[in-house]
Structure 1
Amino acid sequence: MPTAGHVTPWKGLLIGAIAGMLSGLFGIGGGIVIVPALLALTKMERKLAHGTSLAATLPIAAASLVTYAANDNVDWPFAACLAVGAIVGAVVGTHLLQVIPKTPLTIIFIVTILATAVRLLLSDEVVGRDQLSVLGGIALVVIGFVTGTLAGLLGIGGGVIMVPAMVVLFSQVPVIAKGTSVAVIVPSSIVGTIRNRKKRNADIPLAAAIGVAGIVSAVVGSIISDGISDGVSNAMFAILLVLVALLQIRTLFPSRGDDSLLDASDTTGDA
């Protein structure tokens, strides 16, 4: 297994704490923090950073899920449909990684999430979804598949796609969309970590340290998310989407010798 540079305990705790807070607040995996932090603080190669981040995501997302579920903020039928598509899409995406040009796909992704950010800011008050129909279930599987495929191709985790999709397309209450998102991230993280471990593409001890550090902050973030209004939640998530878009724009113009912060790798995505 490729080795990483040394990460001091306080740096590992800080990385985990920030990733956990983002996971709890927004229903994402935390890879948006973990991956660039590992690249900046260690000499870990990019694929190993993504694999390690994905493994660290598992305990963080699980902690968030427990809190969301305890507050009845998980839509399990939604989660099941999304998970089916996401897991299949993740496998397809990693296989297509060497076939599909990433630049045009990245540009499409940037435009899409920026448009979604604007739509979230303009959203009216959400009253909750209607009863899930067969067509709705199929649509969720497709969204999950697209999410997983993009995760495999771009190294972008599912939360930044699934949460706004549920809010905008299905009128889902934001806090429930976030809880549902982490419910999908947990099984996809398990599948991806098993694959990465077989390929010796994850530093499991480091991932465990970061993941355990993020458990407490993930619970705190989930509690905070349960108490904020839908309007504030949508605005905060829109800001997060803009940040992700800026990081993706940076990958289109890498400097010499610069590792893209969120470049794709052979993982199922963890942000």
Structure 2
Amino acid sequence: MPPGTADSAGSPLALISLGLVAGYLSGLFGVGGGVVVVPALLLLGVDQRIAVGSSVAAILPTSIVGATGYALSGNVDWIAGLMLALGIVGGAQLGSYLLARLPRDLLFWLFMGFMVVVVVSLWIVIPERDDAISLTPLSSVALALTGVVTGILSALLGVGGGIIIVPILIFFFGASDLIAKGTSLLMMVPGSISATLGNARRNNLSMRIAAYVGISACLASPLGLLTAHAISPFWSNAAFSALMALVAIQLLAKRLTRGSKA
């Protein structure tokens, strides 16, 4: 891509519209919104590295706004979020190191299997709104290890941490759907800062794109949060399982496209 193309790609209206959709999904599901932002930026003609880097930068203000909204309603577990954040930052670094050293085919299909198991579990385990994470020394270590695994998978497969963390907190740690989403957004803040600083050093982001998408996403995030509170845990799980199915289809399509080109 010629110099300057990334910064001129996408009209302000298109980027703002994209940010509004991503922000709503972020507030509703406790995810970063990259599952929508990155493919849309690619369709707008943005280079893939710039698209990923700009998406991560846009997630920072969105996750802060979303985590704050959930925190104000008492739906953030601060200690669990800290343990996850510590793990995911270290895991992301390890994932970057392993990127050229592990068989990605095996990892890809293991992750797809994980997605299937999680989608099924979301229809079996329906949390109660007053459920909370039981923190013990053992569960704290398990949370940190979960963060490490999430960071590795995020780096290797290019998926956001929220799509992994939210169902795990519900299924394995007994969190309510709202606490899982709020804690997931809190966890994203340090990870996004770390990744954005790295992408900025490598010129892998467009501040223009990140600003348009990130600021508009902040405006829509509270609406997603209100929707999350308004719907029942059952419908929350049903909607999240649909999002995970969309992510799985997107990853599979991307893989098949690369395979056909090869």
Q: TM-score range by the shorter chain?
A: over 0.9
Whether 1:151 aligns to 2:143 is no
Aligned to 1:104: 106
Contact 1:35–1:50, Cα closer than 8 Å, also in 2: yes
Instruction: State how 1:21-60 maps to structure 2 within 5 Å.
Output: 21-42=24-45, 44-60=46-62
Pair 107,148 (structure 1): closer, same or farther in 2 beyond 3 Å: same
Structure 1 partner of 2:253? 250
Q: Percent identity of the aligned residues?
A: 37
* 2:34 and 2:55 in contact (8 A); partners too: yes
Q: Counterpart of 1:170 in 2: which secondary structure?
A: coil
1:160 aligns with 2:163: yes
Which aligned segments of 4 or more residues in structure 1 are displaced greater than 2 angstroms? 124-127, 255-258
Quick one: which of 195, 218, 222 aligns to 2:221?
Answer: 218
- Partner in structure 1 of residue 209 of structure 2: 206
Aligned pair in 2 of structure 1 residues 250, 52: CA closer, same or farther (>3 Å)? Answer: same
Question: What do residues 143-181 of structure 1 show as CA deviations (whole Å, max 9, x unaligned)?
Answer: 100101111111101001000000000110001100000
**Structure 1 contact 196–202 (Cα < 8 Å) conserved:** yes
Counterpart in the other structure of 1:174: 177
> CA 1:256–1:148 in 2, change beyond 3 Å: closer, same or farther?
closer
**Structure 1: gaps (5+ residues):** 259-271
| Residue in 2 that maps onto 1:238 | 241
Partner of 1:19: 22
Letter in 1 for 2:234: G
* TM-align CA RMSD: 1.6
Q: Kindly indicate whether the alpha-carbon contact (under 8 Å) linking 1:79 and 1:181 is maintained by their aligned counterparts in 2.
A: yes
Distance 2:101 2:43 in 1: 29
How far has the Cα of 1:219 moved from its partner? 1.2
Alignment map for 1:105-124 (pairs within 5 Å): 105-124=107-126
- State the one-letter code of the partner of 1:110: M
What's the TM-score, normalizing by structure 2?
0.94
| Uncovered stretches (5+) of structure 2, i.e. residues with no partner | none
* 1:8 alignment partner, one of 6, 11, 20: 11
Give the letter for the 1:101 counterpart.
P
Query: Aligned pair count?
Result: 257
Q: Distance in 2 between matches of 1:124 and 1:256?
A: 38
- The letter for the 2-side match of 1:97 is L
Between 1:151-160 and 1:98-107, the stretch displaced more is 98-107
Per-residue CA deviations over 1:119-161 (Å, capped at 9, x if unaligned) read 1111144351353111100000011001011111111010010
- Taking structure 1 as the reference length, what is the TM-score of the superposition? 0.91
Maintained 8 Å contact 2:134/2:173: no
Once the two structures are superposed, residues 228-254 of structure 1 have per-residue CA deviations (whole angstroms, 9 ceiling, x without a partner) of 211111111111111111111112211
- Cα distance, 1:49 vs. partner? 1.1
Query: Structure 1 residue 88 and structure 2 residue 84: aligned?
Result: no
Greater helix share, 1 or 2? 2
For residue 254 of structure 1, give the secondary structure of its aligned residue in structure 2: helix
Q: Distance in 2 between matches of 1:203 and 1:234?
A: 34
